Amino acid sequence: MSKTVGIGITGGIAVYKIAELVSRLRKNDIDVIVMMTESATKFVSPLTFRTLSGREVLTDLWQESREWKVQHIGAAEDLDLLVIAPATANFIAKMAHGIGDDLLSTIVLANTAPVLVVPSMNTNMYKNFIVQDNIKKLSDYGCKFMDPDTGMLACGTSGQGRLPDVNDIYEQINKLLFTKKDLFGKRLMVNAGTTCEDIDPVRFIANRGTGKMGYCIAQEAVNRGADVILVTGRSHLETPKDVKVFNVWGAEEMCEVMLRNQPACDIIIGAAAVGDFRIAKAAEQKIKKKDDRSEKLIVELVGTPDILKEMGKNKVPDQIMVGFAAETENLIANAQKKLKSKNLDFIVANDVTMEGAGFAADTNIVSIIERSGTINSLPKMSKQEVAAAIIDKVVELVKKN
């Protein structure tokens, strides 16, 4: 069945490059609906895109359409993917704040298909904190973004802001349109977030984990067709769609939930930042301090369960288990020890002291270490891309079983 892509073109100098993108999509039997803002038509005539796409170009909210009774609603309902390219700072702001004052912006509001946004603008505009905040807001809503290329810009300056290569945009469109369902029929459980251990009714100890990596894995697994269970400790993140969630507090509760669900799972991934210690005896009432600050508070810590190690003891044939090793020294050696002691199929190791690889970052730098000893060190990439690489490795093992 043919896919339909909406190409929303906004007013940037890179508009002319989108003609090649539309042409390539059509040559590969992808139906294209081109939608242009008034500013975009100042750079390239709609006639060009009408010729390349083989259908009318949408430019005016009030123009009559032979194809749809209500144009912006009908067009939105026909889309399998909506691409905004080039995306100007102005249009990104309109998207982020739900403004629908022209044809393209109203189609964005009516659209329910995945959205790919490809920014292109002056480097100072792109780096402006307001623009970056709008991009983050849309990313949190689920929009996919491509980073602009770096180089000479039309304004004569050099920096990040160029439209990515058309081949790269085309490949990203294909990836979003034809998502693999290679985990269909499999149940995957992943833990995420930080566990918390109470000191008293208002205080607790935790760590710097935010849950980003585990949540990305959960979303990637859902996208690939898996039935996903997410066991999450404390996290500020929005729960991925179509995921069964268990919210837990401490390490013991997380361990109990995961052990209970283990027999029904084909794949288990431990991505949570589980605390290694808890308070031996939490206070029943809030601990008060003296006004002169003279006292010392001494707490006794005891160990928490090693969740993956406990699950490794119960692992059955064909069940795949994956762990993480967040280290500050001897990365590979420490990760290999965990790989063996927890009975894992592979482990994802990262040095949290490296810039772009620590807690709360949107990126990660990891090495995938297999039982065979093979080590695949990945470059810095987004956590969503790391999640895809992890699931790719899981799928390899599923096919071997």
Catalytic center residues: 155
CA 382 centroid distance within chain? 8
CA pair distance 31, 141, nearest whole angstrom: 26
Cis check for the bond before 114: say yes or no (omega within 30 of 0).
no
Measured CA to CA in angstroms, residue 147 lies from 9, 25, 105, 163, 357 at distances of 17, 21, 22, 9, 19
Strands 4-9 and 81-87: what pairing?
A: parallel
Q: What is the DSSP string of 202-228?
A: TEEE--S--SHHHHHHHHHHHHTT-EE
Residue 256: both structure tokens together: 């109990």
Task: Give the H/E segment covering residue 130.
Answer: helix 129-140
CB distance 250 to 195 below 8 Å: yes
Dihedral sign (CA 101, 68, 10, 179) = positive
Residue 25: name the closest of 56, 54, 46 by CA. 54
DSSP 360-380: T-SEE--EEEETTS-EEEPPS
